[in-house]
């Protein structure tokens, strides 16, 4: 099998794991285990917290001590065992412990899968999007497989499994753990002269343009959580009227659009127009989507605007990972990917989740939520990000090792 095929399978499994539990874990915890909203919110914050703590350790191992594919494999095997255990957990304290430990071993793999892909692609600007798109396909597939499993269990009760979403994620994780050992051999870079790779990655922030990029990426990441946390309740509200049964299928419009943009548009647009123009278009797609949400109708337009997620996510965040790979010194590429994962998936998502919840609460009364006011906030902030990025960021190919 070719390296691209194996890397695509890796991305499929990496995001199938996440997609199996993340979209509907809150419903399982509230409806089945009777956890409170505050308890569920804290459990959801564990992955961002882990993404702040853990990826630098994973990057350090991959940059200095062990082949990247072995680091990923061990972490996914351990993670799979933890998820299978978590499927049987019923109490809040035990679930927090299980999810915390799981997130600590899963979080580093988000950066390391990007790192190993970049290390084994000849032309990352052209090929990375084609590899990463399999992650989105995996996310969608996991949701459909779980829905099919539950549908089948209605006529065959023997198929019922407590915590089926965590059980399915655990199976995917074990499969990926084994598959990771077949990935292209990616040893640590021998030319690295300084032992603490993650400290060298932090030194990249001395470069003004990389600092501007990092700050904008952080702010945009906080506004991403308005989409992930609040879109489902917004769509199921009387204002839009999507049924709770159909919501998971409607939400996949975003991932289907993401596949189209990542597979067909990014490989052509990025080499032709460069990182800066690509990312500006990505940022501008956010206020367009949020202004449609703020207007709140007609319902078909709101639902259709979910497709803008393809540009929002791919043209900004996927392009961001490619940019980091382009400018990072060879001996700290894994740690540089870990740094941006901390900024986006860790601090950005943690702050954004709490900020989105706080804004929603601010504009909610006993009668209803004022969704117009809620979505005007991320609209304004992402518009400011687009303006700041246009004015302050200068695209260049290389940051010297001694920045």
pLDDT (tens digit per residue) in 124-166:
667 777 788 899 899 999 888 888 888 788 777 666 778 888 9
CB distance 219 to 385 below 8 Å: yes
Assigned token pair, 56: 């630098």
Please, which residues bridge with residue 369 across strands? Answer: 364
Q: Where in the chain is the domain with CATH 1.20.1250.20?
A: 1-188, 190-403
**Residues belonging to the chain:** 403
Q: Which residues of 80-104 are buried (b: 16+ CB within 10 A; e: fewer)?
A: bbbbbbbbebeebeebbebbebbbb
Give the C-alpha separation, 320 to 327, whole Å.
11
pLDDT at position 66, please? 67
pLDDT exceeds cutoff 90 at 106: yes
Over range 176-198, report the average pLDDT: 73
190-403 folds as Growth Hormone; Chain: A; (1.20.1250)
1-188 folds as Growth Hormone; Chain: A; (1.20.1250)
> What pLDDT digit, counting tens, does each position of 363-393 carry?
888 788 899 999 999 999 999 999 999 998 8
Q: Categorize the per-residue pLDDT at 23 as very low, low, confident or very high, splitting at 50, 70 and 90.
A: confident
396: phi then psi, degrees, rounded to nearest 5: -150, 160
pLDDT at position 15, please? 94
Total-model pTM: 0.73
Select from 296, 288, 317 the least CA-distant residue to 379: 288
Q: Which of 169-183, 224-238, 303-317 has the lowest mean pLDDT?
A: 224-238
Select from 291, 304, 308 the least CA-distant residue to 382: 291
Q: Categorize the per-residue pLDDT at 196 as very low, low, confident or very high, splitting at 50, 70 and 90.
A: low
CB atoms inside a 10 Å sphere around CB 139: 24
pLDDT at position 59, please? 53
């Amino acid at each position: 099998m070719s390296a691209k095929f194996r890397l695509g399978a890796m991305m499929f499994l990496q995001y199938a794991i996440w997609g199996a539990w993340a979209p509907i874990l809150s419903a399982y915890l509230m409806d089945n285990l009777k956890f409170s909203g505050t308890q569920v919110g804290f459990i959801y914050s564990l992955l961002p917290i882990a993404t702040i703590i853990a990826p630098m350790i994973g990057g350090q191992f991959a940059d200095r001590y062990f082949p990247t594919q072995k680091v990923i494999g061990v972490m996914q095997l351990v993670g799979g065992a933890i998820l299978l255990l978590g499927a049987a957990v019923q109490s809040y304290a035990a679930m927090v412990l299980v999810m915390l430990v799981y997130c600590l071993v899963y979080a580093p793999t988000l950066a390391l899968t990007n790192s190993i892909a970049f290390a084994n692609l000849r032309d990352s600007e052209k090929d990375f999007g084609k590899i990463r798109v399999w992650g989105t396909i995996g996310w969608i597939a996991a949701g459909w497989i779980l829905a099919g499993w539950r549908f089948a269990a209605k006529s065959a009760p023997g198929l019922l499994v407590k915590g089926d979403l965590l059980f399915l994620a655990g199976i995917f994780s074990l499969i990926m753990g084994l598959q990771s050992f077949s990935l292209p051999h990616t040893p640590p870079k021998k030319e690295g002269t300084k032992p603490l790779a993650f400290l060298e990655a932090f030194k990249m922030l001395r470069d003004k343009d990389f600092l501007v990029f990092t700050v904008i990426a952080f702010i945009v990441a906080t506004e991403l959580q308005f989409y992930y946390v609040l879109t489902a309740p917004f769509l199921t509200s009387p204002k839009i009227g999507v049924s709770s049964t159909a919501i998971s299928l409607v939400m996949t419009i975003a991932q289907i659009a993401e596949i189209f943009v990542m597979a067909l548009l990014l490989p052509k647009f990025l080499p032709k127009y460069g990182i800066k123009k690509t990312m500006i278009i990505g940022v501008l797609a956010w206020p367009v989507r949020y202004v449609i949400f703020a207007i709140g109708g007609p319902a078909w337009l709101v639902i259709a605007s979910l497709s803008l997620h393809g540009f929002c996510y791919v043209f900004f965040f996927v392009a961001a990972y490619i940019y980091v790979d382009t400018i990072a010194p060879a001996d700290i590429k894994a740690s540089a990917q870990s740094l941006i994962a901390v900024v986006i998936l860790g601090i950005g998502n943690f702050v954004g989740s709490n900020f989105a919840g706080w804004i929603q609460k601010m504009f909610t009364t006993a009668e209803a939520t004022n969704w117009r006011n809620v979505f005007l906030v991320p609209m304004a902030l992402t518009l400011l990000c687009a303006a700041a990025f246009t004015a302050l960021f200068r695209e260049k190919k290389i940051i010297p090792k001694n920045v």
